[in-house]
Amino acid sequence: MKKSIYIGLLSLCTILFAGCGGRKQSVTTSGQEDSTAVPDFNADSALAHVFAQCHFGPRVVGSEAHNACGTFLIDKFRQYGFSVSAQDAEFVRYDGVKMNGYNIIAQLDPKASSRILIAAHWDSRPWADNDANPANYKTPIAGANDGASGIAVMLEVARLLQSQKPEIGIDFVCFDAEDAGTPRWAEKGGDDSDTWCLGSQFWSNNPHATGFRFGILLDMVGGQGAHFYREGFSMQYASEVVEQIWTAAQNAGFGTYFKNENGGYITDDHLPVNRIARIPMADIIAYYPTADSGFGPTWHTVNDTPENIDKNTMKAVGQTLLQLIYSLEK
């Protein structure tokens, strides 16, 4: 994603106009008194999924590592009892290069009338263009946090859903080609937002299903020292979803990770889902307010490796997701 943080006046606008996305959000829950036991998210299992993805190498769209990891993800979701399909697409990169990729769609109880969407991107950035060493700028990154962590959380949640079915249907979507946007050395000014999030743009124009109550996007959910702020576009288009996530985090015992403060506006996969597919989707994405980029020290660098993942951060996000899922009514 184009991890640009727009703050200041825009943050004020978020406070004033949050929830004015133009469509009703339905996030009815059954109440926290519900006796349904929420499964325990296994952080070690999630961490193993991060290592497994990165073991293939950088998941640059169209590469052997990318295709091998895609097969791994499809097999895992099927192993966990999901109906899985690949949505093939041809993506055009910022420089006109065509890339063949695919979104991965995994459905639990596809016939359920009440459904939610959970997504993350599974590709990794082709260039370490934020690295401290300019010699690394054109080196593909491992994408342990920026990519693999969100997928790892989804896989562990999927594993648990298999043995304890929720009342609602769940669709996981692994978006491709999210991180192939214009590199810093090629920026020419102007708005290049459309060069990012190519898989979610394609899916939003060609959704495999409709009628989702809401969606949740996971991005960079395994960083050390990570906290999650109320992202601007999420508040604009999906404020009720944000509230449900933050409430679930509090009830799950991880409220310290989810700050009751506004973050910046981030171009990420939730943006086309909100604007094109018109599904209210909130972005759970780490925000470091004191960092120049607004993101962690490994972002778009060669140091975004599994060794720099904090499994406790993934635990906080995964347990929050489970808390929310099992509170939802049909």
pLDDT-derived band of residue 41, with 50, 70 and 90 as boundaries? very high
Residue that the structure tokens 């993350």 belong to: 120
Phi-psi region of 249 (alpha: psi -120 to 50; beta: other; left: phi over 0): alpha
The mean pLDDT value for 101-108 works out to 98
For residue 146, the 8-state DSSP code is I
pLDDT at 138: 97
Radius of gyration of the chain (CA): 18
**Can you read off the two tokens belonging to residue 90?**
């041809």
The mean pLDDT value for 77-94 works out to 98
Q: State phi, psi for 246 to the nearest 5 degrees.
A: -65, -35
pLDDT tops 50 at residue 61: yes
pLDDT tops 80 at residue 6: no
pLDDT tops 50 at residue 114: yes
User: Quick one: fold of 2-325?
Assistant: Aminopeptidase (3.40.630)
pLDDT tops 80 at residue 251: yes
pLDDT at 115: 97
pLDDT-derived band of residue 35, with 50, 70 and 90 as boundaries? low
pLDDT tops 70 at residue 226: yes
C-alpha to C-alpha distance for 110 and 128, rounded to whole angstroms: 38
Model pTM? 0.91
Residue of 133, 150, 147, 51 whose CA lies nearest to 302: 133
pLDDT tops 80 at residue 37: yes
**Can you read off the two tokens belonging to residue 34?**
């519900």
Least confident interval from 149-163, 200-214, 285-299: 285-299
Whether 66 and 140 have beta carbons less than 8 Å apart is answered as no
Residue 60 β-bridge partners: none
